[in-house]
Amino acid sequence: MDEKSVKNTSEKNKQLNNNVQVYDQVNCQKDLATHRTLCAYQKSMTTDTMLAADSKVARSSFGPQVKDKVVIEVKDLVKTYYGQAGETRVLKGINFTVHEGEFVSIMGPSGSGKSTLMHILGVLDTPTSGLYRLDGIDIKDYSEDELAAVRGRKIGFVFQAFNLLAQKTVLENVMLPGIYGKIPMRQRQDKARELVGLVRLDNRCDHLACQLSGGQQQRVAIARSLMMDPAIVLADEPTGNLPTDQTDEVLSFFTKLNREHGKTIVIITHEPAVASYSDRTIVLRDGVITKDGPANKDIHYDTN
């Protein structure tokens, strides 16, 4: 390339970057199609530059703290159950990635395959075929025991039914993953106190879990999920057992974790109002992804 074309290319790339920055600021919630139209004007752009720009906009559209690092990579994922009634193909070739700092909801009607996908993402089950890489680790390279360790270190779980030890205190519940993770006693106590503070339950540290409201119990579960500094927090219908006012409160804590602490969050839900707290929604229907894009923020819980 001669000096003039180098200069032209660099000018065009500069222009593209400016366009992307303007796009980021103004249109961060619009979908990628608009951006592709914008890019089409940059006729001499290389494919790499275009893909890099797309990826940058895709990430910035999906939350303010989204980083380059990929924490979930799912490629051609298939899950088939084999039973007496024959084969049931539940996941039929799923593809997506989640970057560090994203807040993603996975939605779909009952029977669409959400729980099956959640079990695979949570390393509680393995796919029949396809790739699942969690925080850079290809799970098929690991034995059952190793997978249990990966699960404990890399994933913080929040379940619909809270799954707390009812007769243990708030602090003891939050410390529990630290015991399995062999964090020294003093360190896990300090960390548990910090996490209990994060979900604003400092004044309930010594209460038994069974003495708390549903919303408070789920906040304890959120604190517990963070004990091992996981790569992702995976929440399965986290507000399914809560009244509406407590639902809003609990979901606000997920937002806080994501916005203020840069945590990567994946929520499985069948409720559009829950998904509206996330930045990106992946819709699953009959085992395939039918939509993957910015979350609809216009649906809200009626808290009156």
Residues that bind ligand ADP (CB under 6 A): 81, 83, 88, 90, 108, 110-116
State the minimum distance, in angstroms, from the CB of residue 115 to ligand ADP.
Answer: 3
State the minimum distance, in angstroms, from the CB of residue 108 to ligand ADP.
Answer: 5
State the minimum distance, in angstroms, from the CB of residue 135 to ligand ADP.
Answer: 23
State the minimum distance, in angstroms, from the CB of residue 119 to ligand ADP.
Answer: 8
Closer of 115 and 255 to ligand ADP (Cβ): 115
State the minimum distance, in angstroms, from the CB of residue 255 to ligand ADP.
Answer: 24
What residue spans of 122-199 are helical by DSSP H?
A: 144-154, 170-180, 185-198
Closer of 110 and 203 to ligand ADP (Cβ): 110
Closer of 94 and 221 to ligand ADP (Cβ): 94
Per DSSP (E only), the strands in the chain are 70-83, 86-99, 103-107, 129-134, 137-138, 155-158, 232-236, 265-269, 280-285, 288-294
Give the residue among 132, 177, 170, 133 at the shortest CA–CA distance from 156. Answer: 177
> Residue 99 and residue 161: Cα distance in Å, rounded?
27
Give the residue among 198, 194, 155, 200 at the shortest CA–CA distance from 175. Answer: 194
Closer of 87 and 138 to ligand ADP (Cβ): 87
State the minimum distance, in angstroms, from the CB of residue 92 to ligand ADP.
Answer: 11
Closer of 27 and 115 to ligand ADP (Cβ): 115
Residues 6+ apart with CB under 8 A from 114: 106, 107, 108, 268, 270, 284
Closer of 256 and 285 to ligand ADP (Cβ): 285
Closer of 18 and 88 to ligand ADP (Cβ): 88
> Residue 293 and residue 62: Cα distance in Å, rounded?
8
* Distance, C-alpha 160 to centroid of its chain: 16
State the minimum distance, in angstroms, from the CB of residue 145 to ligand ADP.
Answer: 23
> Residue 238 and residue 168: Cα distance in Å, rounded?
21
Greatest extent of the chain over all pairs of C-alpha atoms, in Å: 75
Strand arrangement of the beta sheet that strand 103-107 belongs to: 155-158, 232-236, 265-269, 103-107, 280-285, 288-294
Closer of 44 and 290 to ligand ADP (Cβ): 290
> Residue 46 and residue 73: Cα distance in Å, rounded?
25
> Residue 234 and residue 155: Cα distance in Å, rounded?
7
Which 3 state secondary structure label does DSSP give 127? Answer: coil
> Residue 79 and residue 205: Cα distance in Å, rounded?
42
State the minimum distance, in angstroms, from the CB of residue 138 to ligand ADP.
Answer: 23
